[in-house]
């Protein structure tokens, strides 16, 4: 496995991360680095452990071992609420839109954890649809709008590291494209992003590097520039 990462200090350094659901051992040692401003993807088959990796970084899984350092601070013993306060925000795979909250309340729910977050106006510039639906029940939105809401609300918080779990899953191609542009834009604004994606063609347009996850381990790392050359290998990993 060749290291293709640029040589800046990592913003997030994950070392030998292990995680369990109850007795079931799911992550067997994940090691990844993410540098400030990078977009890094986790690719892998269904059930490989991508979601669990994000959850373990976020601290929503109780039983986890190894090391997760963010800005030099160890997160592994912290609860998710303290991890969020350090400036990490998570957009879960199932989106987590609250049905008992309207769109506005959903947007305003996550507390601001650091200065420099988006204003409501900036969120509406990025996702104009949301502005029209402010008083609709959160779960009455279309799938695409719910995804925009789920991402929009974490941009308000000022978190600089975003964990996005399959943001394009199940969405129409035109929405997938819109979300791709949005990630591109966030990247130019200096956000650091870990992106879990099934669709690596979409991911390839924005990512710097790709980590391949298999059975709870990182088995390979591919720089985006070398993606074309590694297509065969990638297809084998992903079983597509």
Partner 1 sequence: MAEIFGIPAAALYGQLLLGFINGAFYATLSLGLAVIFGLLNIINFTHGAQYMMGAFVGWMLLTYLGIGYWPALILAPIIVGVVGMVIERLLISRLYKLDHLYGLLLTFGLALIIEGLFRNGYGVSGMSYAIPAELSGGVNLGFMFLPLYRGWVVLASLVVCLGTWFMIEKTRLGAYLRAATENPTLVQAFGINVPLLVTLTYGFGVALAGFAGVLAAPIYAVNPMMGSNLIIVVFAVVVIGGMGSILGAVVTGFALGLIEGLTKVFYPEAAATVIFIIMAIVLLVKPAGLFGREA
Ligand X SMILES: Nc1ncnc2c1ncn2[C@@H]1O[C@H](COP(=O)(O)OP(=O)(O)O)[C@@H](O)[C@H]1O
From the list 153, 176, 8, the residue with the least C-alpha distance to 91 is 153
In terms of Cα–Cα distance, which of 25, 75, 40, 3 is closest to 187? 40
51 near Mg ion, judged by CB under 5 A: yes
Q: Is 194 in the site for ligand X (CB under 6 A)?
A: no
Q: Residue 24 touches which of ligand X, partner 1, Mg ion, none (CB < 5 to 8 A by kind)? A: ligand X
Sign for the pseudo-dihedral over CA of 169, 171, 177, 178 = negative
Query: Site mask, Mg ion, residues 96-115, x = CB under 5 A?
Result: --------------------
- Could you say which of partner 1, Mg ion, ligand X, none residue 187 binds, taking C-beta under 5 to 8 angstroms by partner kind? none
Contact at 8 Å (CB) between 94 and 138? no
Name which of Mg ion, ligand X, partner 1, none residue 99 binds, using a CB cut-off of 5 to 8 Å depending on partner kind: partner 1
Output the CA angle 196-199-200, nearest 5 degrees.
Answer: 80
Per-residue binding letters, 85-114, with partner 1 (x by CB under 8 A): x---xx-x---x-xxxx---x--xxxx-x-
Residue 75's DSSP bridge partners are none
Give the nearest distance from C-beta 54 to partner 1 in angstroms: 10
Candidate list 49, 138, 167, 180; residue touching ligand X; CB under 6 A: 49
Integer angstrom CA distances of residue 33 from 16, 45, 59, 170: 11, 21, 17, 29
Interface residue list for Mg ion (CB under 5 A):
51, 93
């Amino acid at each position: 496995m060749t290291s293709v990462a640029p040589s800046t200090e990592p913003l997030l350094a994950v070392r030998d991360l292990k995680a369990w659901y109850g007795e079931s051992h799911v992550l067997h040692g994940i090691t990844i680095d993410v540098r400030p401003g990078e977009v890094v993807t986790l690719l892998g088959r269904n059930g490989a452990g991508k979601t669990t990796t994000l959850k373990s970084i976020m601290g929503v899984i109780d039983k986890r071992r190894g090391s997760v350092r963010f800005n030099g601070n160890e997160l592994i013993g912290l609860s998710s609420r303290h991890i969020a306060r350090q400036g990490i925000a998570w957009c879960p795979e199932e989106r987590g839109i609250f049905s008992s909250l309207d769109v506005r309340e959903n947007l305003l729910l996550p507390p601001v954890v650091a200065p420099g977050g988006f204003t409501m106006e900036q969120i509406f510039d990025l996702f104009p649809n949301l502005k029209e639906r402010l008083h609709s029940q959160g779960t009455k939105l279309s799938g695409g709008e719910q995804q925009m809401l789920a991402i929009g609300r974490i941009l308000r918080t000022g978190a600089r590291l975003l964990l996005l779990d399959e943001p394009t899953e199940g969405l129409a191609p035109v929405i997938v494209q819109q979300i791709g542009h949005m990630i591109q834009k966030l990247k130019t604004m200096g956000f650091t992003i870990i992106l879990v994606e099934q669709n690596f063609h979409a991911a390839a347009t924005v990512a710097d590097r790709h980590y391949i996850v298999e059975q709870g381990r990182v088995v390979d790392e591919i720089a985006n520039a070398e993606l074309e050359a590694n297509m065969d290998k990638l297809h084998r990993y992903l079983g597509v």
